Chain A
Amino acid sequence: MGRIGRNWGLYVLLLPAVVLLFCFTYIPMYGVMIAFKDYNPVMGISGSPWVGFKHFERFFHSYQFELTIKNTLFISLYSFATFPIPIVFALFVNQMRQNWFRRFFQTVTYMPHFISTVVLVGLMLILLSPGNGLIGNLYRLFGAEAPNLMGSAGLFSSVYVWSDVWQQTGWNSIIFLAALSAVDPSLYEAAKADGASRWQNIWHIDIPMLMPTAITLLILRVGGLLGVGFEKVYLMQNNLNITGSEVISTYVYKVGLLSAQYSFSSAVNLFNTVVNFILLILVNRISRRYSEQSLW
């Protein structure tokens, strides 16, 4: 008790964050149990009757199950495949010798990160419209018909992933640039003395130095494999692309809030969270065994 009393001020500083997390993150975790109940607003969370795995079974047997899982996994793996792009980007930026150019380049390429999701999707609708958008005009210049990128279920994942690459590559490279700037300069001097070219520097010094950071981020990404974000998908969704764009998070929102099936929606969400959690633990274990890199 004495140890706490001596530093009571620190606990006062911690208090707001702890209270907020408790109220708005831990209490909802307790509320997850409505996934196993038939939630009734009058009886509340604890008073509603238990129904076991009824809602999970309904989800597994619904025709939405296969579609949402397939879309979520596909979009996720697709964007997972673009994981190396920021690394290559950072390696190139790291090679830029003119400082003013490098700073300018970074300022410009970080910029899209600060565009809101709403504006980004608005931009895409304007630029990618086959009728009077930039893409439409470009195709017409060559006498061709532009594809309807925003209204096609098959192209949805590509539009989603590559617009993300456009928006986030510069920003995502920061952490790798930070890792590269921590490389001991004597390594490069030693390499220079041995007559290494800059290609060889990249290959034999830079890339190995980035591996620990890359693996840590990779593990975190796998943990979110079924967690394709709600915001952008929901904004990009329309009646034309819905079979390619319905993912777990948008489905949870629609059945949960729009049609007020609280228990069912919570069950779908819980399934999603649990799968992600298991994936994270698995990948962390594999990584710890083979590369001695792990989150915990």
Chain B
Amino acid sequence: MSRTGIAIKPAAQKTASRRSSDSILEVLLYIWAALVLLITLYPLYFIVIASFSDPSAVGNGQVWFYPKGFTLDGYKELLNHSNIWIGYKNTILYTAVGTLIGLAVNLSAAYALSRKDLFGRRAITLFFIFTMFFNGGLIPTFLTIRDFGLYDTFLVMVLPFAVGVFDIIVARTFFQNSIPPDLWEAAQIDGCGNIRYYVQVVLPLSKAIISVLALWIAVGHWNSYFNALIYLKDKELYPLQLILRNILITNQMQSSMGTGEAAEIAMRLANMLRYSVIIVSTLPIMCIYPFVQKYFNQGVMIGAVKQ
């Protein structure tokens, strides 16, 4: 009896002290989480309500929690800008074609590298990895692309930078860990070749990694402006982000405007356009990503496992 008494007493004390420190942790945790949510969401929410508000009310600091002087002028102004829609169309094309090319190139390379019976595997892997740490830099790359005749073409946006070494490493690790090698042996006995095996057996089993890579690559294309800035000259080929840069950052709209009252109205519209264009250009991704989010942890975890 006395032995159990002694044994229970310190344990009970520990439980009590653990509970109080744990509940402090709990409270702090949720205060912290609320602050983080506020800091993350409020700026985004503000843009949404500002896009529906009278710009002078926004400028005067009257807009805090809901739109003031409700108006859709910003969105109407959006419809008048044909270059935004050209940009939109181009970006959709670049994203669709670029994602398909990227997936095809990276997944197949990753699969080949995942096979232990690939002769020269180490050397080929090194050939890929080396480019993560060393590259020719801006000018030699620019000259090369120009010499290939790709400057100012559709292809320059989808082809030269399609290889993502990091994506390949992540996908390779996925194939190594989740496609049992026995499957290949069985398929081989049935007379199945490598390419047919890859297309008909490996790919259908790899939906998780395909979705994660597709999202990564698609978001990359949707958001990229650097390559367009450097390799495109023709305005008809400009992607949305380059048009956005002109509207949001370099203020090209205002400089082309007259003076006086007309200029004031134009300024007003330009300001409203900024809010609505941010929303219209960012909304597609915000709608898609939560559906793929469940694969993120899985995808990253697979990639983080050391070779």
Q: A27 vs B131: C-alpha distance in the bound complex, in angstroms?
A: 12
Q: Are B194 and A13 in contact (CB under 8 A)?
A: yes
Of B22, B140, B168, most buried by chain A (CB within 10 Å of CB) is B140
Contact (Cβ within 8 A) B140 A29: yes
* Interchain pairs with CB closer than 8 A, number: 266
* CB contact under 8 A between A195 and B15, given known A21-B127, A265-B138: yes
**Known A7-B115, A116-B222; contact A197-B22, beta-carbon cutoff 8 A:** yes
> Taking the complex as formed, is A181 at the interface, i.e. its CB lies under 8 A from any CB of chain B?
yes
Q: Is B237 an interface residue (CB 8 A)?
A: no
Q: Is the pair B105, A17 in contact by a Cβ cutoff of 8 Å?
A: yes
**Are A123 and B136 interface neighbours, CB within 8 A?**
no
User: In the complex, what distance in Å separates the CA atom of A265 from the CA atom of B142?
Assistant: 12
Whether B136 contacts A29 by the Cβ 8 Å rule is yes
* Contact yes or no, B248 A118, CB < 8 A: yes
- Report how far A21 CA is from B132 CA in the complex, Å: 11
Whether A17 lies near B108 (C-beta < 8 A) is: yes
Q: B21 in the interface, Cβ–Cβ < 8 Å?
A: yes
Contact mask B142-154 → A, CB, 8 Å, 1/0?
A: 1111001000000
Chain A residues, Cβ within 8 Å of B113: 14
Q: Hey, what's the 0/1 contact readout for A165-178 against B, CB within 8 Å counting as 1?
A: 01000100011011
| Inter-subunit contact A134/B36 (CB<8 Å) | no
Task: Check: B276 CB closer than 8 A to any chain A CB.
Answer: no
Cα(A11)–Cα(B121), bound, Å: 11
Tell me if A116 and B223 are in contact (CB < 8 A).
yes
> In the complex, are the beta carbons of B160 and A24 less than 8 A apart?
yes
Chain A window 10-49, contacts with chain B (Cβ cutoff 8 Å), 1 for yes, 0 for no? 1111101110110111111111101000000000010000
Q: How far is the CA of A197 from the CA of B16 in the complex (A)?
A: 10
Evaluate contact between B112 and A10: CB separation under 8 angstroms: yes
| Stretch of B65-73, B77-85, B281-289 contacting A (4+ beta carbons < 8 Å) | B281-289
Does chain B have a CB within 8 A of A127?
yes
Closest to B248 in A: A122
**Count of chain A residues near B, Cβ 8 A:** 92
Known: A116-B241, A235-B245. A13 touches B225 (CB 8 A): no
- Could you tell me if B25 and A199 are in contact, using CB atoms closer than 8 angstroms? yes
B55 nearest in chain A by CB position? A132
Question: Are the CB atoms of A195 and B143 closer together than 8 Å?
Answer: no
Whether a CB of chain B sits under 8 angstroms from the CB of A198 is: yes
CB-based contact A182/B144 at 8 Å: no
Q: Is the CB–CB distance between A17 and B137 below 8 Å?
A: no
The reply on B47 being an interface residue by CB < 8 A is yes
Q: Give the residues in chain B near A118, CB-CB below 8 Å.
A: 223, 225, 241, 244-245, 248-249
B residues 1-35 touching A (CB-CB < 8 Å): 11, 14-15, 17-18, 21-22, 25, 29, 32-33
Residues in B neighbouring A11, C-beta threshold 8 A: 112
**Least Cβ distance of B141 to chain A in Å?**
4
Tell me the smallest distance from the CB of B128 to a CB of chain A, in Å.
7
Check B257 for interface membership: any CB of A closer than 8 A: no
The chain B residue with its CB closest to the CB of A223 is B133
The interface stretch among A67-75, A100-108, A151-159, A239-247 is: A100-108
A235 in contact with B249 (CB, 8 Å): yes
Chain A residues 105 to 134 lying within 8 A of chain B, measured CB to CB, are 105-112, 114-119, 121-123, 125-127, 131-132, 134
Which residues of the other chain, B, contact A20 by a CB distance below 8 angstroms? 105, 159-160, 162-163
List chain B residues, Cβ under 8 A from A199. Answer: 21-22, 25
Residues of A within 8 A of B148 (CB): 23
In the A-B complex, the 6 residue pairs with the closest CB atoms: A28-B136, A9-B194, A122-B248, A31-B140, A137-B61, A132-B59
In the complex, 30 of the A-B residue pairs with CB atoms within 8 angstroms, ordered by the A residue number, are: A3-B117, A10-B111, A13-B111, A16-B108, A17-B128, A17-B163, A17-B168, A24-B144, A25-B163, A28-B143, A29-B136, A96-B29, A105-B33, A112-B40, A114-B285, A115-B223, A115-B282, A118-B223, A118-B225, A119-B281, A126-B50, A126-B248, A127-B46, A132-B59, A179-B304, A197-B17, A230-B226, A235-B249, A252-B139, A269-B138
Task: Give B contacts to A, CB under 8 Å.
Answer: 11, 14-15, 17-18, 21-22, 25, 29, 32-33, 36-37, 39-41, 43-44, 46-47, 50, 58-61, 104-106, 108-109, 111-113, 115, 117-120, 124, 127-128, 131, 133-145, 148, 159-163, 168, 193-195, 197-198, 219, 222-226, 230, 241, 244-245, 247-249, 274-275, 278, 281-282, 285-286, 289-290, 293, 296-297, 300-301, 304
Given contact pairs A17-B106, A105-B33, A273-B135, enumerate 14 new A-B contacts (beta carbons under 8 Å).
Answer: A11-B112, A18-B127, A24-B141, A114-B219, A116-B225, A119-B244, A119-B248, A131-B59, A175-B300, A197-B17, A197-B25, A257-B139, A262-B139, A266-B137
